[in-house]
Structure 1
Amino acid sequence: MPAPGPAAPAVPGAGGERLAYRLFTGPDDRAFCERVSAALAEGYVLHGGPAATSNGGSVIVAQAVVLPAAIASADAAVANAVDDLEFDGEGHA
């Protein structure tokens, strides 16, 4: 029997596990703000500032959100990687 492939990413609201990172894009309107607000109410936090551009007629915005646990996990991974570096006492800081 073949080994199972990678699991499909979870889709919020589809009964799956929440994604650690989400990027919302769309016109700068109330519906966009409601989508980001709903994610914040679900426990996500803003990741960086919003980005905005124009498609010649309307403003298109983007906002990334992450789960706090994802940030802690990434920070721990970086700390572990730094701890694993070999340092011979020479070089630049």
Structure 2
Amino acid sequence: MKLYRIITGKDDSEFCHRISAALDKGWELYGSPSLTFDSARGVTICGQAVVKEVNGKTYSPEMKLGEQ
């Protein structure tokens, strides 16, 4: 089964650490990152899709994707 998730957050080192942690857990980058500017908060928001192949499991909407 292939899992997909998108990680979003403020463009800062915490966001980069979240992506690095996902890569360390076996997730792979999927496509290019996206950026947008939140003018109400005055910050740049990043988004990065990641995918992961997981054997021996069946997808369920109750899965906590970040824990896979």
Shift of 1:21: 1.1
Q: Which structure is higher in RCO with an 8 Å CA cutoff and minimum separation 6?
A: 2
Higher percent of residues as helix: 1
Choose 1 or 2 for highest CA Rg.
1
TM superposition score normalised by structure 1 = 0.51
Structure 2, unaligned stretches of length 5 or more? Answer: 55-68
Taking only aligned residues, the RMSD between alpha carbons, in angstroms, comes to: 1.6
Check if 1:45 corresponds to 2:28: yes
TM superposition score normalised by structure 2 = 0.69
Percent identity between the aligned chains?
47
Dislocated runs of 4+, deviation >6 Å: none
Please list, as runs of the form range in 1=range in 2, the aligned pairs for 1:1-93 lying within 5 A after superposition: 20-56=3-39, 57-67=42-52, 69=53
For these two proteins, the number of residue pairs brought into alignment is 51
Deviations 1:23-57 (A, max 9, x none): 11110001100001000000010000000000111
Secondary structure of 1:38's partner?
A: helix
